[in-house]
Structure 1
Amino acid sequence: MPSAELQIPFTNMSSLPFNPLTSFTIFLNLPFELRCMIWEASCVSRIVEVDYDEEEGFLPRAANPVALAVCKESRNLILDKYPLVFGSIYHPARTRFNFAIDTLFIDNDMEDNVPHLFSTFREKEILGLRFMALGNSFNEPRYDSEETTTTQLLKMVTKLPSLRLLLVVYDIADMADQSFSCEVQHTMEFHDKVPKQLEHPAVHIDALPEVTDDKENDFKRWAVPDCRPVYGWRRCPDGHVFTDIDMEYGPSDEDEDDYGEGLMWGLGYGHRLSTMFDDEYLDLEGIDPGYNPYFAYEDPSTSDNEDLDHDEDLDHDEDLDYEDGEDAAEDGEDDAISIVSVD
């Protein structure tokens, strides 16, 4: 008797309606142990930046874990993992911090309050802190004869036995040659490389300093197993990054530093370098389309126009002014640039 074959009907999943869940009403029916695992998994690492307020003391700029506010069960489960820290006799502790996964971030503008912050450290902070990040100004060159915040931090770090990672944060807003559009101080993100959202031919962002094996290297002087530089980015939620350039088409033609397309000063960011010497960029009266503006100087001894007097040379130069130079002249500022040098 031939064996019966199991026929499995094929279902095209793409044809099924997609109705995303907006609630999970059977969560309480799950085993308690599984619910505990879910609540603990919701605790992700955070960058906890602290600010100082004279009335409130040290306050975190990071949001508390969601599980602390969902329900009594979730709060009771993880509350011990997030003790209140950085309090003093003048101000109660207001910062929830998980020493196992959170990173304490002290930015450059906190320099005046660094001694005060570390004076709040008690046994749990001293023994528990594992990850810390400092603004790049705290990694300034060392001068043995001068007492600075950096020298104080170098000593303080040696008193933190659990500290495993120290990041030196270089704010991308200070490393880029374009201005960021958002002036709101959003929470900081750390990146080992420039985020792809900021990669654009019109934008130059300085490279991070190198970490070498040299004992004099700025990153080697910290008594921490791992010390390295990272980019810091205060990402704006609206998605727009830069103010003074158009990320799709390049800068405006009215930019004061744009001396005209095709000049030796360079093209607008929206143009390919291969079009720099195309006819359309050299379509000026008296200019050979094969003329290379990088060799703009003409030797008077070989010039066909060497017999022209000075006034005629000036008239000829005025005819070569670009439109943006003429506009500036109307405003009283002559920014026009002559293609041919005047003897």
Structure 2
Amino acid sequence: MEVTQESQATESGEFRALKPCLLRRNHSREQHGVAASCLEELRSKACDILAIDQSLAPITLVLAEDGTIVADDDYFWCLPSNTKFVALSANEKWVYSNSDGGTAWISQESFDVDETDSGAGLKWKNVAKQLKEDLSSIILLSEEDLQVLIDVPCSELALELSQSCAAVQRLQNTVQQVLDHREEARQSKQLLELYLQALEKEGSILSKQEESKAGFVEDMDAVDTGSSRETVSRTALTSQVLTALKEKPAPELSLSSQDLELVTQEDPKALAVTLNWDIKKTETVQQACEQELNLRLQQIQSLHSLRRVTARKTPPPEQLLSPKRAKQDPT
């Protein structure tokens, strides 16, 4: 819904400019188009149109995009026409919501952070929401998402998670430990690969590798150029995932669990053509992705099991307040 700019006549006969705006309440997708000459008029119209009780005044107007409080008429007029505002009643806090009908990050099938700068700026809030719903989902995040949480100022992340700065600092330290653990695993895998390469030079693995390459060449000879292009077009992986597979050492440690699952579901031959790899290397990487995915899921299940056990062992509040007395021995 858009509102065109107008002017209206005052009692003295003068005309004053009106700025078209879009209004909605917090946690609502329903938007209302209004035109106002100043912030005070926009607040007044917000109370009427959005049916905000006068007892909830004062009304605060914030930008729907990032929650910036608009408290100055000069800044109000610097904003473009049809700017989206959220009207907050007293003691109400702004919460990010995709008012265009999108869903939360946890239910999205994909999220391309390269589309717009504003999308990249809000990514850490989407990741924070996922952690707020289930802290154990930290295990499922990609290294990029983990780094985003570390780079966010502690005060902003604390506000988003409704936690103290001390608790958020501990969370960021935990995130850093997860990143460090993955880096240690990557370095260990690289050392192992160097050791295997040394064995290949001695001839212990060279013959098997040559046989695998010969078999792959025969398969490629049976496929013409046109069918190769068709195979590449069937690859459902994003460019971001393909880049990680090509350039990252131990790429399974860099990807999110959702991306790991997509890699394991790819046809090995199609993925090999896309990455310009031999089939043996492709299958090895897919197996590593599958193992990493299973490990993360097992960790999630273990955490949930511990939570259930802890919940069963914790006595109800009434038992803590009124403990039963032990029965006396009648003798």
TM-score bin (small chain)? under 0.3
Q: Point out the structure with max Rg over C-alpha.
A: 1
TM-score in terms of structure 2 length: 0.23
TM-score in terms of structure 1 length: 0.23
